[in-house]
Amino acid sequence: MAQYAVLLYSPAPGDDADVPPEELEAHMNHENQVKELGGSILAGVALQPSTTATSIRGDVITDGPFVESKEVIAGLYVLEARDLDHALSMARLNPATWRGGVEVRPLLGLELRP
C-alpha cells in the first residue's frame, strides 16, 4: 500500500486555540473511520502555534513563519492507502476540512513501517 502525508491547515489568527469540543471528539474518531475504510494512520503530530516557529532561508533565521498567510499547518499524519483516491476518501473525513483544509501528498522515497 502507498503512503501519503496529510497536512492539516487551520486559520492562522487563533492557531486552533478555539477548537470546539465536538471537533476535538471528531479528530479522536477519525482514526477509527480510516480503519473502517481499509487504511491506517502510521504516525501523526499536532504542531505548536505558528508564533513558535523559526524559519531558515539560506543563512537568514527569522522568528515566526516565513510567509504571511491566512492559514498555517496545524499538524500532519502519515496515511497508508491503496492509492490516491483511497487516501482522499479517508482524508476528506478529517475535521480539519471544516475550518481550514487538508492537503494530501504522496511520500517520496523512504516510507514509514508500522
CATH of the domain at 68: 3.30.70.1060
Contact 91, 104 (CB under 8 A): yes
Domain range enclosing 54: 2-76
| Euclidean distance between CA atoms 99 and 89, whole angstroms | 18
- What's the pTM value of the predicted model, to 2 decimals? 0.77
Q: For residue range 82-112, list pLDDT tens digits in order.
A: 999 999 999 988 888 877 888 999 998 766 6
- The answer to whether position 21 is within a domain reads yes
| Euclidean distance between CA atoms 95 and 8, whole angstroms | 9
Q: For residue range 66-79, list pLDDT tens digits in order.
A: 566 677 888 899 99
What's the mean per-residue pLDDT of the chain? 81
| Euclidean distance between CA atoms 114 and 101, whole angstroms | 26
- The answer to whether position 88 is within a domain reads no
- The answer to whether position 110 is within a domain reads no
Q: Number of folded domains in the chain?
A: 1
